[in-house]
Structure 1
């Protein structure tokens, strides 16, 4: 078998095994997170309301996005109260399908072909080509979520966090909701610097664990996993 065929088959088996395992027992979603906070502790009655930027006012999915973030905010210790909020919270998210790290840049497709002809004042040629295996690309997604918490009385940002994930998971709402949990890990006083936060999605346990991540190079953006 050719190298391209082996890579194709190997990537398919890895994705199939990963997705089957995820369906049965859940999966661990790894996130690269960086947070900034000036809140050493939460004050009594830490209520909030959602606040939208002008560009978010007419977004059809913004209400759904806030609904995905609300449980994570509640688990972090905040309680929504639109009538008497102490804080305002802005949330945003971005998802984009990207090239899988398993993609083979040298895979041009493989096939076979042939032809025949005869000459008696007339010429004829016939040929056929088809790939040995159908071309298959593993789905892969880059996602980011961001949370900004502002003190309404002083109009000062007191917490900002961003989580990034790259992976094959296609259930966008489930992944985005888990990423909000990752972004709020350690709230209101998270560790400084870039770190990795894993969130268990599905299965019998819902757990979060944090581990240091490699610091980004100077003047470079936070690394994505």
Structure 2
């Protein structure tokens, strides 16, 4: 009997954490995009180069990572980085804020589960049941990330494409999350749907 209860307890723990991990495979982003190409929108192989603000030049290494992710995301929608024969400039800005408490970790909310950890057993007419109780209060950082990408026609100097993505969550893997946000921000490029959209991008396992 003790061995059976131990096995049930182990399965309960594994099921609990497997369900928790399964919910962290995607990134949700709220995206709003605008475009005004004037002539025909850019086709496959259209060239671009990056443009930086003075503040972005100061943090060069950090911006290098962001632009590397952006280059990869733009390649997936047909754009090609080529500073020698360039048609558009691309400027990408990222802002990350760390919030110490999750939105639902407020006074008066004690998480979920019972007050103390343990295993509870119950008997019903159909047999016995077993459950796992883990009191949950989250105190890990909560991240709010904003991304803006602007594309400028170098011939006219006009911004012809603008997209914004906002994502928040507990995922701490900033580069992987930014990669997903870029894919979301460029969804439908070069002529995305008008209005706000919520886009889910799955993270590579």
TM over 0.5: yes
Structure 1 residue aligned with 2:129:
none
8 Å CA contact 2:105–2:138 kept in 1: the answer is no
User: Aligned equivalents of 2:139 and 2:96: distance in 1?
Assistant: 18
Structure 2 residue aligned with 1:190:
192
SS of residue matched to 1:57: helix
Residue 87 in structure 1 maps to residue 110 in structure 2: no
Residue 148 in structure 1 maps to residue 142 in structure 2: no
Q: How does 1:69-108 map to 2 (within 5 A)?
A: 69-98=70-99, 99-106=101-108
Q: How does 1:171-190 map to 2 (within 5 A)?
A: 171-190=173-192
Query: Any idea what the Cα deviations from partners look like across 1:125-180, whole Å, max 9, x if unmatched?
Result: xxxxxxxx897514311011110000011111000000000111110110011101
Q: How does 1:118-137 map to 2 (within 5 A)?
A: 136-137=138-139
Q: Which runs of 5+ in 1 are unaligned?
A: 1-14, 111-132, 204-225
Q: Evaluate the alpha carbon distance shift between residue 161 and residue 136 of structure 1 in structure 2; reply closer, same or farther with a 3 A threshold.
A: closer
The normalised TM-score by structure 1 is 0.66
User: Aligned equivalents of 1:160 and 1:41: distance in 2?
Assistant: 13
Structure 2 residue aligned with 1:113:
none
The normalised TM-score by structure 2 is 0.71
Residue 37 in structure 1 maps to residue 35 in structure 2: yes
Q: Which has the higher strand share?
A: 2
Measured on the aligned residues, the alpha-carbon RMSD in Å equals 2.6
Q: Runs ≥4 in structure 1, deviation > 3 angstroms?
A: 15-19, 133-136
Q: Evaluate the alpha carbon distance shift between residue 150 and residue 134 of structure 1 in structure 2; reply closer, same or farther with a 3 A threshold.
A: closer
Decide which of 144, 148, 172 is 1:170's aligned counterpart.
172
